[in-house]
Amino acid sequence: MRILYIFPHPDDESFGPAPAIAAQLRQGFEVHLLTLTKGEATKQRYKLGLSKEEMGEARYKEMKCVEKTLGLTGMRVTDLPDGELKNVNPIDIEKVVIDHIYEIKPAIIITYAVHGISGFHDHLVTHAVVKRVFCELIERPDAGFLKRLALYTRSGEVDISGKFRLEASTDEEIKYTELCSDADMEKFQRALDCYETYKEIIEKSNVREIVTNEVPFEIFGEEIDTPLNNITDQLKSW
């Protein structure tokens, strides 16, 4: 069974979801990643003396390291403008997402919950675009492969201890928690190590300490009374 993660930036897959990705791969799922931008607009480029183009290429190389470290089944990184998704015609973003969904034909799509964890605009736009695309495609007879939209999130309280304010979902909203092994957590740490240009951000964010072996998800549009036992548990026939 195929799972497709969709995020806007390099490192989004590693700043939290990576242990779950490692766990799902270990369980035998095909796990693909679509990243909408190369993350070229990060302010880190000024400290490194790089242009946007150079920064984008550096971060893409880091993502190739993550692809190998996690053992992703497949990865695509597109050239939509980092930090500017709110200014892009959403139909154009939707087309990129739809084309890749039809190419991969995943049963499960995973993206950010509505708060985007950090509240970054690109995160919020990605959530909205992916959710709208999912709602459209499940009405199409040629997209019967789609079974679920899961939303990566955090549990607990809002966290303001690190570099970013981190939002969370309520216990009632969380319908599945991926329990990750020590080996999965090690892959998460190694995936973070791939981001050489982001070492300072990784340290200031406290992500290595914040992320635990329990990775929570909301499930969109399904009536689920008790937490799922597996990300594929009780798949809905739309």
CA-closest candidate to residue 178, choices 219, 220, 139: 219
pLDDT tens digits for range 76-109: 999 999 999 999 999 999 999 999 999 999 999 9
As a whole number of angstroms, the distance between CA 12 and CA 14 comes to 5
| Global pTM value | 0.96
pLDDT tens digits for range 120-167: 999 999 999 999 999 999 999 999 999 999 999 999 776 656 566 789
In the CATH scheme, what is the code of domain 2-219? Answer: 3.40.50.10320
As a whole number of angstroms, the distance between CA 176 and CA 12 comes to 20
As a whole number of angstroms, the distance between CA 186 and CA 130 comes to 29
Domain ranges within the chain, ordered by starting residue: 2-219
